[in-house]
Amino acid sequence: MHAEASNVVPFPVSDEARARLSLVRFRRHAEALDSELAALAGGNIKSAGDWAKRTATPSVRIACIRRYLAVAVAGEANLATGRRQHQQYVTRTQQDLEEVLSATGSTLKLLGTMPDAAGRQQALQDLDVYRVRHQVILQRLDELIGDAS
């Protein structure tokens, strides 16, 4: 059972509704991650400790995104029976996103521990590339949310 607000009366949820809700939650976290990565790129952060603090939230958010993505994709797999092309699209989107999330997470860890400014600058450039790829995948996600509705 799923509910966004605490004052909702619980009721059984279909696989379709669970997949759609996970996609919506996933989208919210993905948008927030994009904003957090943009803030990192524009931030005037000096010390390695400050970098570690600023990269912690996006790192945790990546774990949330992966969890919601897994639920959404599992639900899509149940719904896409007989819709092979759609399921292949969902699987490809998941794989692409996992790749971007993994690279982003690794770069965030690196940013949080890197002592030199030149290395941080390169890591920030890498994050910018991941943000662009992330945005393309979000466009695909919008299509999936539309299909699941």
Token reading at 64? 């949330």
What are the sequence ranges of the domains in the chain?
15-148
Report d(CA 23, CA 18) in Å as an integer. 9
Query: What is the structure's pLDDT at 103?
Result: 92
Contact partners, residue 31, CB within 8 Å, separation at least 6: 138
Instruction: Give the side-chain half-sphere CA count within 13 A for 42.
Output: 6
Q: Is 59 exposed, middle or buried (0-12, 13-18, 19+ CB in 10 A)?
A: middle
Query: What is the structure's pLDDT at 102?
Result: 92
- Whether the CB-CB separation of 144 and 77 falls below 8 Å is answered with no
- Whether the CB-CB separation of 48 and 115 falls below 8 Å is answered with yes
Q: Is 64 exposed, middle or buried (0-12, 13-18, 19+ CB in 10 A)?
A: middle
Report d(CA 10, CA 121) in Å as an integer. 48
The pTM (predicted TM-score) of the whole model is 0.73
pLDDT in tens, the chain (149 residues): 555 666 665 666 676 777 777 777 888 888 898 888 888 877 667 676 778 888 888 989 898 888 888 877 776 666 555 566 667 777 788 888 889 999 999 988 888 787 777 888 888 889 889 988 988 887 887 776 665 55
Pick the CATH number of 15-148 from 1.10.3470, 1.20.120, 3.10.350, 3.30.70: 1.20.120
